[in-house]
Structure 1
Amino acid sequence: MLNALSPTSVVASRAFFPPLLAAGFLLLLVVLASLLYGAGPVSASDAMAALMANGTEEAWFVVTELRLPRTIIALITGLALGLAGALLQSMTRNPLAEPGLLGVSAGSGFAVALAILLGATTATLTTLAAQLGALAGCTLVIAATRVQGLGNDPVRLVLAGATMTGLLLALTSMLMLMDQRAADEIRFWITGSVAGKPLSMLWATLPSITLALVLIAIVARPLAAMALGEKAAVGLGHHPGRIRFLITFTVALLVGSATALAGPLIFVGLVVPFIARAFSGPDIRKTLLLCVPVGPAVVLGADVLSRLIAAPAEMPLGVVTALIGAPVLLAIVRAGRMPSL
C-alpha cells in the first residue's frame, strides 16, 4: 500500500517525513496509554508491571483480556474512519464531507439496528448490514453532490446530510420502540463504544478492511489526478465515473466495518483528514498516508479520555469524539474560508 500510494515524488518530500514520523510516535504513546490507564482498579504501575511479566494475575487479565482487545478495535476503527473521511472529502471536493455528518454513519447505524431487531446474532451479519446501510448513505451523498449548487456549497451539503441523519436517527428510535430487548442492545451500541467488544468482531470485518485498503491503493493516483479536474483526469487516461464508484464502495466497506465495531462515531472522519491535510497539503496520496497513524491515534486517544474523564465510570466514546470534533467543525466554518482540496 505504501508504494502504491506514495511514488517517488510523494515520499521524497523531506517536509512530509517529520509529521509522518511524529504521528507514528504519537500513536505508540497512545497505545501505551491505552494499555496502562483504565477506569478500573488496576493502576498504571500495576499494568506496567504486568507488561513486564512481574504483575499480578488480575493486572495481567485486565491488560491482555480487556484493554488489549479494545485497543486493537479502536485502532482499526480509527484507521477505517480516517481513510473514509479523506476519500469522501476528496471525491466530493468538500472539506466538510464526513461520514457522520452526511448520513453515511447514520445509514449504517440504522441498518445494524434493523438487523439486531430482526435477530442478527453473528458479527458477520451485523457487519454486512452496516456496510449495506453505509453504501446506501454514501450513494445518497453522491446524488446530493450532483444536485446543482449543493455539492459546491460545503455548508448546504452538511445541512442536507444533517437532515438525512436526523431522519435516520428518528427511524432508529422507532425501531427501539418495537422490541424492548433489542432496544437495550441498540441503545448501548448506538452511543459508540469499543469496550467489551470481542476480537471475533474484528475478524468478521478484517476481510472488508483489507479489500478497502487494496482499493485505496488502486484509486489513490486517479483520485489525485481528479483534483486537477475531470477533463484533466480523462486526459491522463482515468475514468472519473469508475473511480467514484470504487470510492463509494470503499467508503461503504470502511464505514460499515467501523460502525459494526464501535457504533456510529461522528466527527472522526472530519478531524483526522483535517489534521492530516494541515501537514500534507492538498495531495490526497500524502493525506491518506498520514491518516494511517492519525486516525487510530485520534480514536484511541478519545477512548483513553472516555475512561479517565468520568472514572470509575466510562463516558461513551461517541460523546468524546463529538466533544473533540464539534469545535473543529465550528472553527472550519467560522474561518470564512475552506481548505483547498
Structure 2
Amino acid sequence: MSVEGVFKHFPIRQGIVFKKEIARVHAVDGVDLTVRRGETLGVVGESGCGKSTLARCLAALHPVTRGRIVFEGQDVTKLSGAGLKAFRRDVQMIFQDPYGSLNPRRRVGSIIGDPFAIHGIAGGAERKRRVQELMELVGLNPEHFNRFPAEFSGGQRQRIGIARALALRPKMIICDEPVSALDVSIQAQVINLLKDLQDEMGLTYVFIAHDLSVVRYVSDRVAVMYLGRVVESATEDELYAGPRHPYAAALLSAASIADPDEAERAERIVLSGDVPSPIDPPSGCRFHPRCPKARDRCTVDDPPLIVRPGDAPDHLTACHFPVERGENLARESAAIAQVSTEPDLPEAST
C-alpha cells in the first residue's frame, strides 16, 4: 500500500438551518507512507495526532479530502460499489474498543459470520463450521458460538474482533490500538496471537499503539506522527537507537524502562508548551513552537520528509535541524524550559 499526500479535514459548521463552514480540523494533513507486503508498520504519536483517522482512511472507512491511497496498483480513494466491496476482502480492521466494536444484541457466531454472509461465501452449516474454526484459531472455545459478547472478558472480546477480521483471509489488517483497553497479561497474549497469525497466514499489519515497548516488539518499521503529519519513519532498530526528529526523540525518551538502573540514568526530554490546535496548526514546521532546536527558518519553511545526510536510505525525517548523533537534547530542552519559567523581576527604582 502506498499513501501519497493524503489529507483528511473535518469541517466545523455553525448555524441551525443554513449551516456555514467556519473552520476545519486538520486531522490528517499530508501523509506519505509505504506499507510493504508481509511487514508490520507501527504508527505512534500523541493522542489527537491523527493515527486513528489515518487508519480509517487506509481502510476506506473515511473518504479522504485529497491525496491517493494505492493498494496493489489500485487507487482506493476512487472505489465504490463492487470495487469497494472487493477491497474489503483484502483489507480488514481491528478496532480499539473490544466493548464498543461488537453488537451486544447479537450472538458471537452471528458477528463473526457476518463477512461470510455479506460476501456470499458460505451459509448454513458451512458458515457455522468456518466460524467455529476461526474461534478455535484465535483461542476461543468453539462451543461458545451462541453466547453474547457480554458473556466474554475484554481479552476474549478482542479475540472475537480478530476472528471477524480474519474471516475473509485478508492480505492486510489495520490494528487500531488493539491492546490499549486490555490488562497487561492479556495484552501479551493478544500480541503473541497476532504475531503467530502473521507468520502462519503471511499477513501485513499497520499497528497503531501508544505503548512504545509494544510497538518496538511487533514492528519492522515505525512511523512517528505529530499533528496530522509523519515527522519520522525508519526501521525499528534505527529509530529506537537514534531518533533524528526532536519530537521522536522526546517521545521515545518518555518510554518506560524495565531496568531500574538504566531508568535512573536515562534523561527525559521535557517539551515546553502545549500541542497546537489542529483547527489552526502553526505555519512552517508543525513542531517548532515546542522544539528545543527551532530557528527562524522553522517558522516559515515546512520541512520535507526526506533522507537526511548520514542516514539509511529508508530513514526519513521531516526536520531542518535533526538531532545529531551523541547530541543531548534533554539538556537543551531543560535550559529552554528554565528560561521560559523564570519570573521577570521589576526594575529597581532610582
**TM band (smaller chain):** under 0.3
TM-score, structure 2 as length reference? 0.22
The structure number with the bigger radius of gyration is 2
Higher RCO (Cα < 8 Å, 6 or more apart): 1
Higher helix share: 1
TM-score, structure 1 as length reference? 0.22
